[in-house]
Chain A
Amino acid sequence: MEREKIKKIVAKHRHEKAAILAILHEIQEEDKQLGTESLNYIAQLLMMPVANVYGLASFYSAFSLRRKGNTEIRVCTGISCHIKGSDKIMGTMKSRLNIEIGETTWDEKFSLEKVQCLGLCAIGPNASFNSKIHAHLDEDRILEILKERMEDSE
C-alpha cells in the first residue's frame, strides 16, 4: 500500500501504539493484506520493532500476510455449524474454488478462511462473503452463491 495512505491512517490514530490493532484492521480492509513493506513502515512510524508488528499481524487471525481475495469467504466451523454439516460446506467451497483454507484463488477474486463462530448458531451452517452472511447453507446453495459471485465479478 502507498506510504501516504498508511501515514494518514497512523496519523488518524495519533501515532498511538495502543491503537495498532485498529491501524492493522484499517490497512487490511483497504489493501486486503498486510504486506512486508506496510508492516515495516508502520513499525517505523510507531517507533516499534518490526518483529513486534509482524508478531501481532501473525498472532491475530483477522490479519493476513498474504493477499486475500476481493471476496473473502469465511466458513463458520463453530460447534453448532459443525453438527449441521459445516465440513461439507467447506469441502464444496474448496473443490469449487480449487483452493485450500487460507489460500486465495489465482485471479485474486476469492479467498477462503474458517471462522470459529459467527454467532448465528440457530440458523447454521453459515458463511460470510465479505460483510454479507448467508445462513441455512447446503451444497446446492453454495454453488449457486459462488456462481452469482463469479458472474458479478466478471
Chain B
Amino acid sequence: MKIQNIWDLNKLEEKGIRSLAPKRPKISIGLSTCGVSLGADNIFEKMNREKEKHALKISIGQTGCSGFCDLEPMAIVRMPGKPPLLYTQMTVKKIKQMIQDIKRKKITQEGLLCKIGDPALPRRPDPLLNEIPDYQEASPFKDQYRLLLGNCGVIDPLSVSEYVAMGGYSALYKAFYQMSPGEVVEEVIRSGLRGRGGAWFPTGIKWDMARKTTSEEKFVICNADEGDPGAYKDRTIMEGNPFKLFEGIVLAGYAIGSHLGLIYLREEYPHTYQFLNKAIDIAKRYGLLGRNVLGSNFNFTLKVIRGGGSYVCGEETALMDSLEGEVGDPRLRPPFPIEKGLWEQPTIVNNVETLANIPLIIEHGGEWYAGIGTEKAKGTKIFSVIGQVQQPGLYEVPLGTNLEDVIFKMAGGSLNGGQIKAVQVGSPFGSFLPREKLDISLDPETLRDMGSMIGSGVIVVLDQETCLVDILLHTLSFFVEESCGKCAPCREGVFQMKEIMTAIYEGRATMKDLTDLIDLGEMIKDFALCALGGGAPLIILNGIKDFRKDFEAHITTGKCSWSS
C-alpha cells in the first residue's frame, strides 16, 4: 500500500493504534543486536513454536532496544484495555509462565519494570495497575527526556503503522504540503540544532549553504560510522526506530534539493546492515522512499553502504573518500563538503542522532526545540554511560544537565558502591576528569572551556581500583592503530608516545621519560593534520596533570597499589 495523501496516513495511523492496543494479548520481544546476543532469538523462536503447538490466542511481535542492553531480553506485554507492560531479563522459562498468566488474565510480577502510559491511547483506569510505576518514574528511564529514544524498545521497529501512530511522518507531510525547502531550513536554523557526531556544527547553517548552491546533483550522507568505542546510540536508533531516521534523511534531501541519501554504516554492525535494508524495502513499499514520496512530486533514493572497519572514515572527508571507493584519508578543508563533497558535488554529512532530531523540529517547530537545553546548545543529547557504573546504558537528557546527576542519580553511581576516581566525557578524545570536577553542565561549551570535549557523548566511569596509566595506554593504542598515516606527527609521534607509555606502565621508565612524553605531546598537539592526531596527545597531557600519582607510582614501583 502506497501512502498518497492524508487519508492514507490517517488509515495507517488507525492500523497502528490497533496494533499498539490490540484486541488479543500480544507479547513483543526485543530483537536488537543486544537482545539477540542475550538469547532473545531463541525465546522468540520457542514462543512461536509454543503458540503453534497449543494454538494460543496470543500475538507475538518484536521491538528494539531501549538503550539498556543489560536489561535485555526485554518484553512488552499488551493486554486488551491495559497499558503496555515492560518486562526485563526474560528467559524461556519466564515467558512460559507469562503465557500461563495471560491465559488467566493475571499480571505477571516477575521481571516487571513499568507500565508505558501513552496519552495517544485512552484507557480505563485500573486499580490493579496503580502499583506499577510509570515509564517516566521507573529507573533507569526516570529523569530522562526521551525525545529520540522514547519509542525505541516500545514500538515494532519494522512497523510503519506503529511509527505513524506515534506521530511519525506527520513532519514530512507537513514539510511537503505546507513548507518550502527554504522554510524547512529556516526551522532547523531556528531550532539551534548542532551536529551530534562530535563537531557540533550548526545543522541549519550547513543545510542553508548546501541549499544555496546551484549544482544539479547534491547528496545527503548519514554518518552511521559510530566509531567512538563506547558509543551505541546510533545503533539503538537505527534498530529501534529506523523510520524516524529515514524521515529525517528525506527531510534533509527535501531541504537542500537532493534526491540521493547514503547511510555509511560501520562494518562492525552486520545485524544493523541487514535490518536497515529490510526497513528500506518496507519504506519503499509504503511510498516513503522512491518515486513520489508521500504522494508528492519529490523523489528520493536511500542506500546503505558498509564501511571497512576504519575509525578515521567517521571523519566526514575520509568518509566520502571511502564512499568513492578509496582509502579513507582526511582531506584538507576548504573546500568544504557543502561546496565540493562526494564526487565533487555539494554534500551534507550528518550524524544519525542529528537527523533523527529533524522530524521533531519540523513537527513541533524550531522555537519549541530551542526551548530545550542551554543558551548555546539546544535539544536533548543521548549519553552512553559505561564502565564501572551501577546501571550502564543510554541516557537521553537535555543539554546542560549536570554530569553528577547523570552519573549518580540516573546511573546509580559506581558499580561496587565505592568512590568514583575519574570520568571521561567525550571518549575517546575527552579528558579524564577527577571526582572533584564532575559538578558541571553537560554541554559542548562547558567541556571545551575545561580543555576537554563532549564528543559524541560517551561517558566512561572509572572507580578507585582503576589505574589511569592502563586506561590511557589502552586509549593510545587505539589511536596508534587507527592513525591513517598521512602526517608524521600522528603516525610517528603518537606511536612514540605509546612506546613511552608502555615503558611507564611496565615500570621501565624514569621521570625523564615522563617529561619527554609531555614535550612530545605538546608538539603533536600543534602539528597534526586532523582532529584525530591533534586530539590524541591532549588526553594524555591532561591525564598526567590530574592523575600524576598513577604515573609516578608506575615509574617508581612498576605498578600502582590500587589497581587489581
Residues of B within 8 A of A25 (CB): 267, 306, 308
Question: A118 → chain B, closest Cβ, in Å?
Answer: 6
- Residue among A60, A119, A123 with max Cβ neighbours from chain B (10 Å): A119
Interface size class of A (residues with CB under 8 A): 35 or more
0/1 per residue, A1-35, Cβ < 8 Å to B?
00000000000000011111110110000000000
A78-B231 Cα distance, complex, nearest whole Å:
10
Contact A80 B230, beta carbon cutoff 8 Å = yes
Number of cross-chain contacts by CB at 8 Å: 131
Contact B305 A22, beta carbon cutoff 8 Å = yes
- Residue among B37, B72, B393 with max Cβ neighbours from chain A (10 Å): B37
Contact A121 B392, beta carbon cutoff 8 Å = yes
A118-B427 Cα distance, complex, nearest whole Å:
15
0/1 per residue, B14-53, Cβ < 8 Å to A?
0000000000000000000110111000000000000000
Residues of B within 8 A of A19 (CB): 325
Using a CB-CB cutoff of 8 Å, which residues 22-64 of chain A contact chain B?
22, 24-25, 55-56, 59-63
- In the complex, B197 has a CB within 8 A of chain A: no
Residues of A within 8 A of B428 (CB): 79
Contact A122 B271, beta carbon cutoff 8 Å = no
0/1 per residue, B319-343, Cβ < 8 Å to A?
0001111111000000000000000
Spot the interface stretch: A89-97, A102-110, A129-137, A144-152.
A129-137
- In the complex, A126 has a CB within 8 A of chain B: yes
Contact B230 A117, beta carbon cutoff 8 Å = yes
- In the complex, B270 has a CB within 8 A of chain A: yes
Given contacts A121-B392, A134-B37, contact A82 B474 (CB under 8 A): yes
- 11 sample A-B contacts, Cβ–Cβ < 8 Å, listed by A number: A16-B325, A77-B474, A80-B460, A83-B387, A115-B309, A116-B227, A117-B268, A122-B386, A123-B37, A123-B72, A135-B38
8 A-B pairs with the lowest CB-CB distances in the bound complex, closest first:
A60-B308, A78-B229, A117-B229, A119-B232, A61-B309, A62-B309, A122-B392, A133-B37
Using A122-B34, A126-B37 as known contacts, list a sample of 14 further A-B pairs with CB atoms less than 8 Å apart, ordered by residue number in A: A17-B325, A21-B305, A59-B310, A59-B327, A61-B309, A79-B386, A79-B474, A115-B309, A116-B481, A121-B231, A122-B68, A123-B69, A133-B37, A135-B34
